[in-house]
Amino acid sequence: MEEGNLRTGRSENEYRNGLLCVLACQLMWGFLPIYWQSLVPIPSWIIILYRMTTMFVYSYIAARLRYSREEIWAPLREKGAIGRYLVAGLLLTANWSTYIWAMTTGHMVQSSIGYYIEPIVICLFGIVIFKEKLTKYNLTAMVLAAAALVVMLIHYGQLPGVALGLAFTWASYSALKKSTKNPPIIELVYETMFYAVIAVIGIVFIETRGIGALSLGVPGKYAMMFLSGLVTLIPIALFGSAAKKVSLFIIGLSQYLSPSITLLLGIFAYKEPIDRVQVISFAVIWIGLIFFTYGEYKNNKDSL
């Protein structure tokens, strides 16, 4: 009896810790634009080079705290591993580079659209690539998201590139990650190390020629750039920890928190313009997300 209570207590503690991790993760992601904005006037492409480099450094340090060198590098010898992680790293780099550019150039509102439609795109990939079941709730959400994009296309005469770029690169990355089985922190080392080499070469080139961040005369902001990999790594680590302790429904539902925070920051803190068409598009997407969330809730409930 006591052993059963102890197990229940451990499960409750794990679930509570998982909720705290997922909440902390989404809050960090939601308020992270403040950090990227604080690095202005350093150009976004320079910030991206430093983030690529420091992300690898912090990932490797974190991996070494838990694993030996042999444990870290052994999985890379598996057949096809290098190619797989090159592609995963490219998608991850493209996603975060687009995100950082959006955060520093007045595109927070559009990036929020991308992260709202991201779960729906991931669901679409699951249906097309992995032959997952298409439900009427998923279909409704996809149709409404597509309708919102069509409205923006007709009004602006162009697709919302930032939103679609963020949604599709992360959905592609998530789909690729379904085929990998190594510890997340070790995989992050692989995904960042190839591109860190390119980034280091780029940093050395621009800084030695006086066209990099050092030439701007902002030592405080320059020092902050060395934390860019860490502020990226922490929420990813929290997300990975939460995924093992709470249901996928909770994980999916929580992902609406960070873009909502970013949206509010963009409108009220950084005074980004938002017009009637964007409001209508957000409303249509949110209606779709309600259908999507209810469908996921029903599936999660039925599987219990």
Query: Would you say residue 244 lies in a domain?
Result: yes
What is the arithmetic mean of pLDDT over 207-223? Answer: 95
266 pLDDT higher than 90: yes
Q: pLDDT tens for residues 18-32?
A: 889 989 999 999 999
Query: Would you say residue 133 lies in a domain?
Result: yes
What total of structural domains would you count in the chain? 1
pLDDT value of position 7: 45
pLDDT class of 223 with cuts at 50, 70, 90: very high
pLDDT value of position 248: 65
Range of the domain at 68: 15-303
pLDDT value of position 9: 54
Distance of CA 165 to the CA centre of its chain: 12
pLDDT class of 1 with cuts at 50, 70, 90: very low
Residue % of the chain over a pLDDT of 70: 95
pLDDT value of position 6: 42
Residues 6+ apart with CB under 8 A from 6: none
95 pLDDT higher than 90: yes
pLDDT value of position 230: 94
| Contacts of 157-163 spanning 24+ positions with Cβ under 8 A | 160/110, 160/113, 160/114, 162/98, 162/101, 162/102, 162/107, 162/110, 162/111, 162/114, 163/110, 163/111, 163/113, 163/114, 163/117
Rounded Cα gap, residues 110 and 102, in angstroms: 8
Query: Would you say residue 248 lies in a domain?
Result: yes
Query: Would you say residue 47 lies in a domain?
Result: yes
Contact 62, 233 (CB under 8 A): yes
Tokens of 220: 């405080």
pLDDT class of 304 with cuts at 50, 70, 90: low
pLDDT value of position 303: 61
Query: Would you say residue 299 lies in a domain?
Result: yes
55 pLDDT higher than 90: yes
Query: Would you say residue 9 lies in a domain?
Result: no
Sequential DSSP letters for 169-222 = HHHHHHHHHTT--S-HHHHHHHHHHHHHHHHHHHHHHHHHTT-SGGGGT-HHHH
Query: Would you say residue 20 lies in a domain?
Result: yes
Query: Would you say residue 192 lies in a domain?
Result: yes
